Amino acid sequence: MTAPTGCPVAHEPVDVRAEAEAFLRLFHGEHPKTGPVEPRLEQVLAEIDETGTYRHTEGELAFGARVAWRNSARCIGRLYWQSLRVRDMRKVSDAATVAAQCAEHLRSAGNGGRIRPTVTIFAPETPTRPAPRIWNEQLIRYAGYWDAETGAVIGDPRYQEFTEEVTRLGWQPPAQRTRFDVLPLVVETAEDGVTLHELPRAVVHEVELGHPEHNWFAGLGLRWHAVPAISNMRLSIGGVSYPAAPFNGWYMGTEIGARNLADHDRYDLIPEVAERLGLDTSSEQTLWRDQALVELNRAVLHSFARAEVTITDHHTESARFLTHLRKEEDAGRKCPADWSWIVPPMSGALTPVFHRYYDTEQVGPEFVLDEDARLRGTTAAPRAFPEPAVPAAPKLPRIRRLSWFTRRAPVPVP
């Protein structure tokens, strides 16, 4: 569930009437028991003519979110799209409640380790009121601190700029900085501006990493969070946009072991693991990188299994994706897929998804990564809304520490 790193999709104007009609015909077509589409379509088009937008029913919202996952071209884990839990938070638009419900999302989706695919949908964008934005790429990401003495980053280099900006905005990192300090949640609304919110430790479920054979691996002090909740992609359903709609599945091991911990511009652990394994690194032909990468990924899968936290391996998930593909074809539907994302980042040719072509035409509903949201996710800029022209008094964004026990909110279950 790693968020895409480059997606040049802009938030372009849409024909709301046309998209609403296409979506409603899709919804009624896949739900014959809802009856003919014409009465609902007439109602929606009249609402659009009057207000410029319309409100989805609970059934339409849940279906739209699930189909957006079904249509996610860069996600390999779509077989269980119908099991997505939809939390309807459309009445929520203020920053404090958005942050509190994000914490509830993590608790509920984490489910004690038995991860549940979940989406929380906040207030939509309307002609009269802009919707809230969540800056973070994922609800849980780790800080990256530039160390001038060593000329290196402590933590996740991907979020060095983000860390610097939220620190400038008022976040106080821990006194003892580590490689795995959880960044604050940054919520921006037109009314509240930019606000920072510390996630309660109780909802940040992490797995300490060890190895099934090498005891020294635990001494590396590595860990990773259990719930990969993407939070900066816009959910687009039938001409209605929901810019704040964090969603999660569960991790495929290579997302952590072959990307987050291994990429040169992330934690870059392959050289260290290779050295501890005693591998011959004098030549690329010894394939020392490959050996170290396999052991790092074995450690991830072993550790999640030991902690009883849901995770899947790339071979199993590749086979499941082809099952999903066959089901979609049998249903007469297109299944968009981006080969460069579907093929796992290690042992690609050993997986069945490698040896075929895919339909690349994107269809809706869908999750969209707008360019400004992509930039905010790693650099904490640009702001979504202009600052007041003449502020009453300069002040930093409020840093809220969410109290889990006092701010816990009920969870609607579809």
Q: Is 257 exposed, middle or buried (0-12, 13-18, 19+ CB in 10 A)?
A: buried
Single out the catalytic residue among 78, 85, 107, 234.
Answer: 78
Active site residue 78: yes
Whether 296 and 288 have beta carbons less than 8 Å apart is answered as no
CA distance readout (Å), 196 to 141, 190, 232, 349, 391 = 14, 15, 15, 43, 19
Single out the catalytic residue among 158, 250, 374, 376.
Answer: 250
Name the residue among 115, 81, 83, 79 with its Cα closest to residue 319: 79
Active site residue 38: no
Determine how many CB atoms are found less than 10 A away from the CB of residue 388.
8
DSSP 50-81: HHSS----HHHHHHHHHHHHHT-TT-S--TTG
DSSP state of 12: -
Name the residue among 243, 183, 200 with its Cα closest to residue 107: 200
Single out the catalytic residue among 21, 60, 75, 133.
Answer: 75
Name the residue among 199, 192, 197, 186 with its Cα closest to residue 395: 192
Active site residue 250: yes
Single out the catalytic residue among 104, 255, 328, 366.
Answer: 255
Active site residue 7: no
Measured distance CA(304)–CA(299) in Å, rounded: 9
In this structure, are strands 399-401 and 206-208 parallel, antiparallel, or unpaired?
unpaired
Residues with a known catalytic role? 75, 78, 250, 255
